[in-house]
Amino acid sequence: MTQEKTALITGITGQDGAYLAELLLAKGYRVHGIKRRSSSFNTERIEHLYQEPQTEDQRFFLHYGDMTDATNLIRIVQETQPDEIYNLAAQSHVQVSFETAEYTANADGLGTLRLLEAIRLLGLAEKTRFYQASTSELYGKARDVPQDETTPFYPRSPYAAAKLYAYWITVNYREAYGIHASNGILFNHESPIRGETFVTRKITRAVAAIAHGHQKKLFLGNLEAQRDWGHARDYVEGMWRMLQQPIAGDYVLATGETHSVREFVERAFAVIGTPLAWQGTGVEERGVDAKTGDVLVEIDPRYFRPTEVDILKGDATKAREQLGWKATMSFADLVTEMVEEDLVEMARLQTPSATKRPEKSQREALHAE
């Protein structure tokens, strides 16, 4: 166990925030998280970490806040005096960023600046280490494959452009003010608690719903996109390792393998024993059950993006050599874990004591991005 440190996590209610909070609490940290006020529950992923305010030796705290609210962020940083800040909060959906470009720039780009300014203005430049959740989306249309820390960026969405600003302002505050500020350039990482509108979880939930007879078909966009998919639990370990280095830096975290959306779909259906066959081409293409001929997958052009990122494949040599980090979960195991967890969840929702939940999950499936 490390000595007791205080960490502040923005985006604690998200996939990575939940895994990171678990990791830091297990290491003996006091963990403060920023959550947004929401009209419905948004703390499902961290409910198991919640402690009653009366608990002795309280080590987990939540604060209301928003990346677009500078005075709120300054106050929280002042009150918590963190040794480490992990900036994970973001409007993180690439397709949604085309519709909410200005908000995405504000939350993801300027939000990062607000936190760095809070560190500087409060005189914490020497005390507080900073992690920025940078992304493989920065590479966008980069010609070089695999991508590493030296590959030029070419963002392909308002999300990636906002994250580009966040990347460089983090580098700038490191160089200008000596803040221990690092960028983790993380390739896609997934898990059973991945947001339901990202393609992996959308697929695994649909496969589980189809297996339970709650859904007939899955509608997807571009099946040819290739991604380097790892497991989120591995990646939050890498974030922590970056902030334990004597000198700050920028690191790629990736598995080094790439797979298409099509492969992900095929493997997910294989977990429930359904072999897929493909018929037709373009938007008319269909994925059918090779045994029964039932149509299980169709293309919906609404899910095509104005500009797409065709292939991401990372080279994490620097992280392996300097942080001793590597991805531990294979693609096949990742898909299997996600489908199996969604099958369990789907079965749980079917129990009489949880009658309301299937309605909710079906509603969400209908609105999945």
Write out the catalytic residue numbers: 135, 137, 159
For residues 36 and 212, which CB has a smaller minimum distance to ligand NDP in the complex? 36
Residue 198 engages ligand GDR in binding (rule: CB under 6 A): yes
The CB-nearest residue to ligand GDR is 225
Which region among 41-49, 130-138, 232-240, 276-284 touches ligand GDR (by CB under 6 A)? 130-138
Judged by CB under 6 A, does residue 227 bind ligand GDR?
Answer: yes
Contact between residue 167 and residue 102 where contact means Cβ atoms under 8 Å apart: no
How far apart are alpha carbons 138 and 167 in whole angstroms?
9
The alpha carbon of 229 is separated from its chain's Cα centroid by a whole number of angstroms, namely 11
Q: Choose the one of ligand NDP, ligand GDR, none that binds residue 199, judging by a C-beta under 5 to 8 angstroms depending on kind.
A: ligand GDR
Among 104, 136, 183, 361, binds ligand GDR (CB under 6 A): 136
Please report the beta strands in the chain, taking only residues with DSSP state E, as ranges in sequence order.
6-10, 30-35, 60-64, 84-87, 129-135, 181-186, 189-190, 218-220, 226-227, 230-231, 250-253, 259-260, 276-279, 286-289, 295-299
Q: Between 111 and 221, whose beta carbon lies closer to ligand GDR?
A: 221
341: partner contacted, choices ligand GDR, ligand NDP, none (Cβ within 5-8 A by kind): none
Distance from C-alpha of 51 to C-alpha of 61, rounded to nearest angstrom? 8
Binding mask 251-270 for ligand GDR (x = CB under 6 A): ----------x---------
Residue 320 binding: pick among ligand NDP, ligand GDR, none (C-beta 5-8 Å cut-off by kind) = none
Helix (H) or strand (E) holding 172: helix 158-177
Pick one of ligand NDP, ligand GDR, none as the site partner of residue 338 (Cβ within 5 to 8 A by kind): none
* Min separation Cβ 198 and ligand GDR, Å: 4
Tokens 């300014």 belong to: 117
> Out of 127, 249, 303, 322, which residue is the one contacting ligand GDR (CB under 6 A)?
303
Beta pairing class for 295-299 and 286-289: antiparallel
How far, in Å, are 56, 233, 235, 236, 343 from residue 329 at the CA level? 37, 9, 11, 14, 20
What is the contact surface with ligand GDR in residues (CB under 6 A)? 92, 94-95, 135-137, 188, 197-200, 202, 220-222, 225, 227, 261, 303, 305, 308-309, 369
